[in-house]
Amino acid sequence: MSKGKILVTGGCGYIGSHTIVDLIEHGYDVVSVDNLSNADESALAGVAQITGVKVKNHVIDLADREATLQLFREEAFTGVIHFAALKHVGESVHQPVRYYKNNLNSLLHVIEGMEETGCQHLIFSSSCSVYGNTEELPVTETTPRQQAESPYGRTKQMCEDILFDVCRVSPELQAVLLRYFNPAGAHPSSLIGEAPSNPASNLAPVITETAIGKRKEMMVFGDDYDTRDGSCIRDYIHVVDLAHAHTLALDYLRENRQASNCELFNLGIGAGVSVLEAIKAFEAVTGVKLNYRIGERRAGDVVAIYANAEKANRELGWQPRYDIQDIMKTAWAWEQKR
């Protein structure tokens, strides 16, 4: 028996497709919506190979209010996992209006669709970028948010604020905000992985594309930060671990275990890995020497951030299984296959 019909926005994307696999494997029916601006439907072919389930994708831009509302009217969703957003930090610095219009309006239209059709459960894809350049490490859910370092980060802060405000006056809406750190790696089957239509900006695909020869070299943005080796530090979380957290968050809402109707969770492995350490991990597990050089700092980059995920461990029962070596191993297997 199905646990419910879930709309996954951005379902053809990297995290969306892995989450669809996990949802199907844990008893949910899934519908995708993706405007294919930074993904294509081949990811859903991979999902079908892994799960044996063909997932329907609606090619709709959620910034289009009427099209979004019509989708909610046509399908009786019991929950929504909202990934769809523009997400490149550097691009957001140069195109702030585009990021604000897309990321805020798409969430607002999803909320309207939920309210109109009585859909109560929402999992929102937030980001560690909401913490800004924090002085508290590791960050917890109560760590004060600092000024965001980019318009992208600011849209995530604003979306969180929108949800807190809406939940305050709409007790029937049950929301979980997942602040996740740096997703990386690929499904162990190598049937789905990170395959952006636009040039990759996340570290793992940049490393693998350089290693396989798609890029002549890789740039490390700065080696003069106040960190142990001068490069930025992040908390890299395997995408399969991250995907499972969304399923657990839906179960958490279905079973009515939450203390409030708008809950926050950090998702990370709780340890920082520097850019240079990630490169060394890749070289160690693959035996491939990477061609990289040190460049200038990049606008919008936070110096160091990693998570305290004890709340997710305790309340969602979430335990990450993979580390940076697993991330690099699966990312490389996916790169070689694709």
DSSP output for 170-182: -TT-EEEEEEE-E
- Which residues are paired to 274 by β-bridges? 233
Token pair listed for 5: 């019909």
Question: Taking residues 86-90, what's their average pLDDT?
Answer: 88
Which one has a higher pLDDT value, 87 or 196?
87
- What DSSP state is assigned to residue 235? -
The reported pLDDT for the residue numbered 202 is 86
The reported pLDDT for the residue numbered 265 is 98
pTM of the model: 0.94
- Residue from 183, 181, 179 nearest 264 by CA: 179
Question: Taking residues 19-28, what's their average pLDDT?
Answer: 98
- What DSSP state is assigned to residue 54? P
Q: Give pLDDT tens digits for 206-252.
A: 999 999 999 999 999 999 999 999 999 999 999 999 999 999 999 99
Count of Cβ atoms closer than 10 Å to residue 115 Cβ: 15
The answer to whether 108 touches 155, Cβ cutoff 8 Å, is: no
Given 152, 236, 252, 322, the catalytic residue: 152
Q: How many CA atoms lie within 13 A of 152 on its CB side?
A: 21
Question: Taking residues 172-189, what's their average pLDDT?
Answer: 96
Q: Give pLDDT tens digits for 296-327.
A: 998 888 888 899 999 999 999 999 999 999 99
Q: Give pLDDT tens digits for 323-333.
A: 999 999 999 99
The reported pLDDT for the residue numbered 233 is 93
Does the annotation mark 14 as catalytic? no
The yes-or-no verdict on residue 198 having pLDDT over 80 is: no
In sequence order, which ranges of the chain are alpha helices (DSSP H)? 14-25, 42-51, 65-74, 89-94, 96-117, 151-169, 203-212, 239-254, 275-286, 310-311, 324-337
The yes-or-no verdict on residue 197 having pLDDT over 90 is: no
How many residues in the chain? 338
